[in-house]
Amino acid sequence: MSTAVSKLDEIRTDAWSGGKSPFAVEYGKLMMWFFLLSDAFTFSAFLIYYGALRFSKLTWPDPDVVFQSIPGLADHGYPLVFVGIMTFILIMSSVTMVLAVEAGHRNSKKEVVWWMIATIIGGAMFLGCQALEWSHLHHEGYWWGSFPASYTGVDMVGALQFSNLFFTITGFHGFHVFTGVIVNIIITLMVVSGVFQRRGSYLMVEKVGLYWHFVDLVWVFVFTFFYLV
Amino acid sequence: MSAEHTHDEHGTAHAEHEGMTKKKIWQVFFYMLGITAIEFFIALYLLPKGIIGHGIGNFIYVILTLVKAFYIVAYFMHLKFEKFALKTGIMVSLVFIIYFIILMLTEGSYQYLHMN
């Protein structure tokens, strides 16, 4: 009997021949990617709407004028400083998250716990900064449906829409950060109680990590289109 | 087949881990910090002094933002080290966002010219 196998009878083992994920990622991780893609569409719809309105108005509030305070320290004269601190905090917490994932690959439970705690602290600090900024802007007269009487531009609808969109978009982003912090706390408790050690893989840390980095990614765009442009 | 399969998955998983070392993570962090510093330099020095115009400034902001987004997605979210099919599946979908930007900003400009 010949040992030669005809081309048709050979067992194919390439990525798309079935029996395994062609993407070589675990189901939950792939679903996290799909969710993040849909969330990216939601956030882009918000930001693109902001752009379309801004393009259509004669005047628009100047971010350097609106955002020039450091709550608790200075009322005006420091454009971008406070939001710079917030951006730094969020990028930093993204780094600690990726370090937690890296520690998870080495199955080092203790390091995962500490990096996760650092990430949670970063997220909480960001939320605290956002609360300070919101309350400061609220005192100045910005809120959903209102803007300060001192606004000098000619287009009042533009100022109103700026105000509405600022609170809606940063609020939606802040809600994501808040959810991320809650999920991070749950996962940290699971790490502490040894769930993933028994499971033999810290893949769940990677999945929440994806979500956390996405929140950072959205902030990069919010920062550019609200505070810089 | 079964043994081969397990071996293959193990191999892939191992290759994935090679993507990010501690050194690489901090390197990406400093790149992003540097880009943010450049953005601040433009916002607080170049634009107020009138060295560059707002049009060019905004163009540079968008480019730098996309570079930062690339670093987050490629390295922190690990997409660079995933399979080609997953990479393209995610990235090609973003074409809808590009289309929506073109559509809505064109509409905004039209309103600026004709509705004010």
Q: What is the ipTM of this complex?
A: 0.88
Where helices occur in chain A by DSSP H, the ranges are 27-56, 63-66, 81-105, 109-140, 156-192, 195-199, 203-222
Take residue A201 and report the two structure tokens written for it: 């893989």
Over residues B26-71, the pLDDT tens digits come to 999 999 999 999 999 999 899 989 899 989 999 999 999 999 999 9
Average pLDDT over residues A121-129: 97
Q: pLDDT at residue A71 above 90?
A: no
Q: Tell me the per-residue pLDDT of A144-180, one tens digit each, with 9 for 90 and over.
A: 999 999 898 889 999 999 999 999 999 999 999 999 9
Kindly list the residues from chain A whose CB atom is less than 8 angstroms away from the CB atom of residue B35. Answer: none
A interface mutation test: which of B22, B70, B76 has the most A CBs within 10 A?
Answer: B76
Does residue A73 surpass a pLDDT of 90?
Answer: no
Is B43's CB within 8 Å of A80's CB? yes
Share of chain A above pLDDT 70, in %: 99
* Better-predicted residue by pLDDT, A194 or A71: A194
Fold that domain A25-228 belongs to in CATH: Four Helix Bundle (Hemerythrin (Met), subunit A) (1.20.120)
DSSP structure class, residue A5: -
Q: How far is CA A94 from CA A130, A198, B76, B98, in A?
A: 17, 26, 8, 26
Contacting residues of A for B82, CB less than 8 Å apart: 23-25
The DSSP line for B19-51 is T--HHHHHHHHHHHHHHHHHHHHIIIIITTTTS
- What distances in angstroms separate CA B12 from CA A26, A207, B1, B16, B82, one per listed residue? 12, 18, 16, 6, 10
Q: Which of A21, A30, A46, A56 to mutate to test the interface with B (most CBs of B within 10 A)?
A: A56
Q: Which residue of A has its CA nearest to B68?
A: A220
Residue in chain B lying closest to A33 (CA): B90
Contact B39, A228 (CB under 8 A): yes
* Domains of chain B, residue spans: 2-82, 83-116
Query: Is B65 in CB contact (< 8 Å) with chain A?
Result: yes
Q: Which of B58, B83, B93 sits opposite A37 (nearest CB)?
A: B93
Alpha carbon of A33: minimum distance to chain B alpha carbons (Å): 8
Contact A220 B68 (CB under 8 A): yes
Both structure tokens of A37:
């893609």
Q: Encode pLDDT of A47-61 as tens digits.
A: 999 999 999 999 999
Of A209, A219, A66, whose CA–CA distance to A134 is shortest? A66
Which site among B33, B77, B91, B101 would you substitute to test the A interface, given the most A Cβ atoms closer than 10 Å to its Cβ?
B77
Q: Nearest-CA distance from A114 to chain B in Å? A: 15
Which of B27, B72, B115 to mutate against chain A (most A CBs within 10 Å)?
A: B72
A33, B86: Cβ pair inside 8 Å? yes
Q: Are A154 and A185 in contact (CB under 8 A)?
A: no
pLDDT at B12: 44
* Nearest chain B CA: its distance from A150 CA (Å): 22
| Domain map (residue ranges) of chain A | 25-228
Contacts of B105 in chain A (CB under 8 A): 48, 51-52, 55
The minimal CB distance from B105 to the residues A52, A58, A94 is found for A52
Report the amino acid identity of residue A153.
G
Amino acid of residue A27: Y
